Amino acid sequence: MIDALTPENPKNSPRRDFSPEWTFSASRSSGPGGQNVNKVSSKMELRFHIMDSSLLSESEKEMLTEKLANKINNEGFLVLTCQTSRSQLANKEEVIEKFYALIAKALKPRKKRVPTKPGKGSIERKLKEKKRIAEKKQLRKRPDEE
């Protein structure tokens, strides 16, 4: 379970409550369910409109729309589904956890890459190999006639 959502201070800040902004719909699942699979609507779909959210800042909204573009439909809704369980309640809880994990991951700032220099051993190996190839090519030359 992810405890925080804000990238600035993830350990101390509480999880934001997005529940008023969610829309749920249930439909028939293709997952487990036995004989009930054609009768019970256990698949849960969570819909969340990123741009209409009052809990997200403008920069967070831009970051989410950029990073989650493949999960956002034409109307601007982030759509997540879950159908792993036979229970509608379990699927609802799982899709909520999936939502929080996805949002937290998308809002986490990307680490800058620190360029590193090649190590001493790798430089030595490279030079040794270079010298070996040079000697091999030197042996291919015709000997000087003196």
User: Can you list the domains of the chain with their CATH numbers?
Assistant: 19-107 (3.30.160.20)
Q: What is the pLDDT of residue 19?
A: 75
Query: What's the pLDDT tens digit per position in 20-70?
Result: 778 888 777 775 666 666 677 778 888 888 888 888 888 888 888 888 888
Average pLDDT, the chain: 81
Could you tell me which of 27, 2, 24, 19 has the C-alpha nearest to residue 83? 27
* Distance set, CA 110 to CA 47, 48, 55, 115 (Å): 26, 24, 22, 15
Q: What is the pLDDT of residue 14?
A: 56
